[in-house]
Amino acid sequence: MRHGRYPFVLGFLVAPVVLYTIFVFYPITQLVFVATTNWSGLSPDFDNVGLENFEKIWQDSTFWQAVQHHLMLLIALPLITIALALFFAFLLNMGGGTRGGVMQGVWGSKFYRVVFFLPQVLAVVIVGVIFSRVYGPDQSGIINRLLSFVGIERVLFMSDYGMWAILGVLVWQAVGFYVVLFSAGMSSIPADLYEAAVLDGASRITIFFRVTIPLLWETIRVAWVYLGILAFDAFALVMVLSIEQGGPDGATAVLPVLIYKQGIRESEYGYASALGVSLFLLTITFAILALRAGRREAVEH
């Protein structure tokens, strides 16, 4: 039987490798190729221009604005989302104190679980449309309407706080998923660990920081990478919510939207592809760094 093993293993490997080559590897090499051309996208003709597109990117102030926004999202989005999700997950699972030595969730935690998860099942564009009403600049905006009841001057979210408003929506939508993820992680932590901690007189806060977090570290790290990659996107929300799709004046510029604008609107597919390559490099660099930096001794249980 042993001699039949390689064809068998190869048979399983070929299909995914072929699919991966056609649908991932080949398009990426094409992207790099198109990035070195001045292809307009409107006809099959183009010239090779070498690295000219990348030179242009280097001098493009909107590109650097977008990179800054991604860095902001890269720090703020995982930080806020993970903090909130951990907090909520802890409340849902253990926030209700102990009963007979077993940690309990807060009252009504099953209901909250559904509420938290709800934004996750909505399509991003729908979320965008909902928030365009939430952030409405006048009395028709939900937040501004509420503010007016307590006599606070209206806030022009998309004009003055564009990127923060986008961040708010991203967090709102992402939290639910990570609450569920962390809840699952928490429920796999053996109850006797908590029992021991409770017997030793640890408070809920101590238990959270000394027991839960270390044991959840792997899950948190994965969440960090996912959220970091999400921070390089934000396409749909910016398209739906922002002024002039990335404005005013690049205040909500993000790379995917720049790519879209250059490629589709200004018919510069070569330049758009060069932006795509830059985005690809940024994302890959982040993913590698995040996985490296987050590596530490996993606590076994």
Partner 1 sequence: MEKDLTRRSVLQRSAAAGLMAVPAAGLLSACVGAKDEAPKDDNAGTVTATNPLGVKEDAEVEVVIFNGGLGTKYATDVHIPSYKKLFPKANVKFSQTEEISTVLTPRFSSNTPPDMVNNAGSKLMDQGKLVGAGQVADLSDLFEAPSLDIPGKKVKETLVPGTIEQGTYKGKPYVLNYAFTVFGMWYSSKLFKDNGWTAPKTWAEFTTLLDAMKAKGITGYAYAGANASYYQYLVILTTAAKIGGADILKNIDNLQANAWKDPAVLQAAKLWGEIGAKYMDKAHLSLKHTEVQLQQNQYKVGFYPSGSWLENEQAKDTPAGFDYNVAALPAATASDKLPANAIYAAAGEMYFVASKGKNVRGGKEYLRHMLSKEGARKFTELTKVLTVVQGSTEGLTLSPGLASSSKALADAGANNFSFRWDSWYKKMDDECRSATNELMFQGGTADKFVQRMQAVADAVKADSSIEKFER
By CB under 8 A, name the binding residues for partner 1: 22, 26-28, 30-31, 33-34, 38, 40-47, 49, 135, 137-138, 154, 156-159, 232-233, 235, 242-245, 247-250, 255-256, 259-261, 263-267, 269, 272-273, 275-276, 279-280
Amino acid letter for position 154: R
Amino acid letter for position 18: V
The distance of closest approach from Cβ of residue 284 to partner 1 in the complex, given in angstroms and rounded to an integer, is 12
Helices (H) and strands (E) in the chain, counts: 15, 2
The distance of closest approach from Cβ of residue 288 to partner 1 in the complex, given in angstroms and rounded to an integer, is 18
Nearer to partner 1 by C-beta: 46 or 87?
46
Nearer to partner 1 by C-beta: 120 or 159?
159
Nearer to partner 1 by C-beta: 60 or 195?
60
Picking from 268, 25, 214, 234, the residue whose alpha carbon sits closest to that of residue 124 is: 234
- Residue 23 has, within 13 A of its CA and on its CB side, a CA count of 6
Nearer to partner 1 by C-beta: 46 or 117?
46
The distance of closest approach from Cβ of residue 191 to partner 1 in the complex, given in angstroms and rounded to an integer, is 42
The distance of closest approach from Cβ of residue 65 to partner 1 in the complex, given in angstroms and rounded to an integer, is 12
Largest CA distance in the chain: 81
Tokens standing for 44? 């099959």
| Cβ neighbours for 291, distance < 8 A, ≥ 6 positions apart | 221, 225
Nearer to partner 1 by C-beta: 68 or 188?
68
The distance of closest approach from Cβ of residue 5 to partner 1 in the complex, given in angstroms and rounded to an integer, is 33
Q: Which stretches does DSSP call E strand in 27-179?
A: 98-99, 102-103
The residues pairing with 243 across neighbouring beta strands, listed in sequence order, are 247
